[in-house]
Amino acid sequence: MADSAKLRPLFPATARAEWPDRLATLFAWASAVTVMLVFAAIVGSVAWKALPQLSFEFLVAAPRDAGRAGGIGPILVSTLAILGVCLAATIPLGLATAVYLSEFTRRTSRAARWLRRSLDVLAGVPSIVFGLFGNAFFSIALGLGFSILSGGLTLACMVLPLFLRASEVSLRAVPDEYRRGAAALGLARPAVLWRVLLPSAAPGIAAGLVLAMGRALAETAALLFTSGYADRMPGSVMDSGRALSVHIYDLAMNVPDGSHRAYASALVLMVMLLAINAGVSWLGSRWQPRSPSSS
C-alpha cells in the first residue's frame, strides 16, 4: 500500500487536463478587460478635455475665428450629407454584388475569384490613394469639383469592399436548408432572397455596414482632395463641405489654441459613431426573423 501511494501522481489527470482550459479562459478575460480599459481610457481622456467646451450653441452655431469660437453646425450637416451620399451608393451596389457572388456564382468560378481578389486588394489600398483617384475622376474628369457628392462617392469606393465582403460572407453562412425549404414551398428566387436570406444574414450585413460607416466618418485624407475645406452651411450636394474629421485635423494641426475645440469635435464624432452603431444593430435585430420560442 505504501508503494502504491508513492506512485500516485501529485495532481489527478482530470486536474491536469483542466489547466489548458483555465489558462485559455484567463487569457480571454484578460484580453477583454484590456480592450475595455483602453477604450475607457481613450473616451475618458477625450471627454475630460471636451466637456467644458460642449454646449447647445457648439452643436448648432457656425464656426468663427478659424474654429476657435462658434460651433460645428454646418460641419455636422456636411458630414451627414457626405455619409448619406456614401451609403446611397454603397448599400445597393454592395448588396447586389454580394447576392451575385453568394447566390448566382459557384465558389470555384474564375470570375468570382478575380472579383473577390480585386475587392481584397481594394480593401488594403491607403485612403490617400482613394483621395487622389476621387480628385482625378469625380472632381476633374466628371466635373463635380470639390463637392459633397465627390467626397461621398470617393468614400463609397473606399468602404465598398468592406461592406460587400461582410455581406457575402453573411449570405453564404445562411444554411442551405433554408434555400431548399423555400424552394420546396414554391417560393420564387426574389422572394427567397427578400424573405429568407437577407433577414437571416441581417446581423452580419449590419456589422459590415457599421464598419463601413465607421471608416467613412473617420476618414480625412480622401476628403481633403474631394469634398473640400469650406466650413459654411452647404446648400446642396454640389457645394463644398468640410467633414468633421477634416475639421478635427485642421483644429489640431493648423489652428493655434484650437486643441480644446478639436477634443470637443472628436467627442461629438465618437458619440455619432456609437449612436449609428446602436441604430444599425437595432435595425438588424428587427429585420432578423425571430424563432418561435422567442415570440
Residue 294: pLDDT above 70?
A: no
Architecture of domain 57-287: Orthogonal Bundle (1.10)
pLDDT above 70 as % of the chain: 90
Q: Could you identify the residue written with the cell 478639436?
A: 262
6: Cβ contacts below 8 Å, ≥ 6 apart: none
**Distance separating alpha carbons of residues 42 and 26, to the nearest angstrom:** 24
Residue 83 CB-density burial (10 A; 0-12 exposed, 13-18 middle, 19+ buried)? buried
Grid coordinates belonging to 211: 464598419
Q: What is the arithmetic mean of pLDDT over 120-124?
A: 85
Looking at the whole model, is its pTM more than 0.75? yes
The domain limits of the chain are 57-287
Give the confidence band of 157 by pLDDT, cuts at 50, 70, 90.
very high
**Distance separating alpha carbons of residues 11 and 261, to the nearest angstrom:** 61
Provide the 8-state DSSP code for 40. H
Residue 295: pLDDT above 60?
A: no
Q: Which one has a higher pLDDT value, 152 or 197?
A: 152
Q: What is the residue type of 171?
A: L
* Contact yes or no for 72/233 (Cβ under 8 A): no
pLDDT above 90 as % of the chain: 29
Q: How far is CA 84 from CA 11, 79, 87, 132, 240, in A?
A: 62, 9, 5, 21, 15
Q: What is the arithmetic mean of pLDDT over 141-145?
A: 91
Largest CA distance in the chain: 94
Closest among 196, 218, 197, 216 to 208, alpha carbons compared: 216
**Distance separating alpha carbons of residues 246 and 148, to the nearest angstrom:** 13
67: Cβ contacts below 8 Å, ≥ 6 apart: 231, 247, 250, 251, 255, 258, 261
Q: What is the arithmetic mean of pLDDT over 272-283?
A: 81
Q: What is the number of other CB atoms lying within 10 angstroms of the CB of residue 243? A: 33
Q: Looking at the chain, which runs of residues are DSSP E strands?
A: 63-64, 69-70
Give the confidence band of 189 by pLDDT, cuts at 50, 70, 90.
confident
* Ramachandran class of 105: left when φ > 0, alpha when ψ lies in -120 to 50, beta otherwise: beta
